[in-house]
């Protein structure tokens, strides 16, 4: 029996990353990201959303705003405050759980 709930497709961040929305409320959205090593990726500053990331598996180097590079591994977390850009390099295939506030639904 086919499910009446349709799965939304989300744009890929790059050819080596894909996100899946796990849950969405009025004020927060939870996503699961899977990244394969493929060099560096820049995320433009986003004045409207704060991003909190938990590294479930893998390793990355993250640059947030003008802060020094931060190497994160499974079990680590980091925050990208609203208004700051973020650059990251995937060192090992990684899975991240990301909470975005406010939710894209509230925009």
Q: To the nearest whole percent, how much of the chain has pLDDT over 90? A: 56
Q: How far apart are CA 34 and CA 54, in angstroms?
A: 12
- Residue 105 has a pLDDT of 64
Q: Are 26 and 101 in contact (CB under 8 A)?
A: no
Taking only the tens place, the pLDDT of each residue in 28-65 is 999 999 877 766 788 888 899 999 999 999 999 999 99
């Amino acid at each position: 029996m086919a499910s009446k709930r349709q799965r939304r497709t989300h744009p890929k961040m790059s050819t080596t990353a894909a996100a899946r929305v796990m849950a969405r409320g009025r004020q927060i959205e939870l996503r699961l990201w899977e990244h394969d090593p493929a060099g560096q990726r820049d995320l433009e500053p986003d004045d409207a959303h704060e991003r909190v990331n938990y590294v479930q598996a893998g390793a990355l180097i993250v640059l947030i705003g003008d802060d020094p590079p931060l190497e994160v591994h499974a079990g680590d977390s980091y925050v990208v405050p609203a208004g700051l850009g973020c650059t990251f390099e995937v060192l090992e295939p990684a899975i991240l759980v990301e909470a975005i506030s406010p939710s894209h639904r509230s925009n």
